[in-house]
C-alpha cells in the first residue's frame, strides 16, 4: 500500500511515516522510487509504536508536582 494509505491507519502524515521508514524504525520497501508497505509492515509498525499499559507508580517515590528535586529536598528538611 502507498504511504498515504498507510498513514491514514496510524493516523499520521505520510511525511512523518517516510521519516520513520528512513530512520529504520518502521519496515517498508522502496518500489519504483516510492515507499510501499505490506499489511505485515503496517502491523509490525503499529505493534512497535503501541504503548503498553504501565504499572501505576508508587506516589511515595515521586516528588511533589511543580517542585524541582532540590526544592523538594529543601522543603523536606
Q: Write down the domain spans for the chain.
A: 3-49
- pTM exceeding the 0.85 threshold for the entire prediction: no
pLDDT for 28-76, tens place per residue? 999 999 999 999 999 988 887 776 555 555 545 554 556 577 777 777 7
Residue 5 has pLDDT above 70, yes or no: yes
Cα 74 from Cα 19, distance rounded (Å): 45
Residue 18: count other Cβ atoms within 10 Å of its Cβ: 16
Q: Which H or E run contains 6?
A: helix 3-9
What is the mean pLDDT of the segment spanning 2-20? 90
Q: What is the CA radius of gyration of the chain?
A: 21
Is 31 in a helix, a strand, or coil? strand
Amino acid at each position: 500500500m502507498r504511504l498515504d494509505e498507510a498513514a491514514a491507519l496510524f493516523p499520521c502524515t505520510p511525511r512523518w511515516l517516510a521519516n520513520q521508514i528512513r530512520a529504520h524504525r518502521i519496515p517498508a520497501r522502496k518500489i519504483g522510487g516510492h515507499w510501499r508497505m505490506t499489511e505485515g509492515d503496517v502491523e509490525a509498525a503499529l505493534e512497535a509504536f503501541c504503548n503498553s499499559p504501565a504499572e501505576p507508580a508508587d506516589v511515595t517515590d515521586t516528588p511533589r508536582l511543580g517542585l524541582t528535586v532540590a526544592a523538594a529536598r529543601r522543603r523536606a528538611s
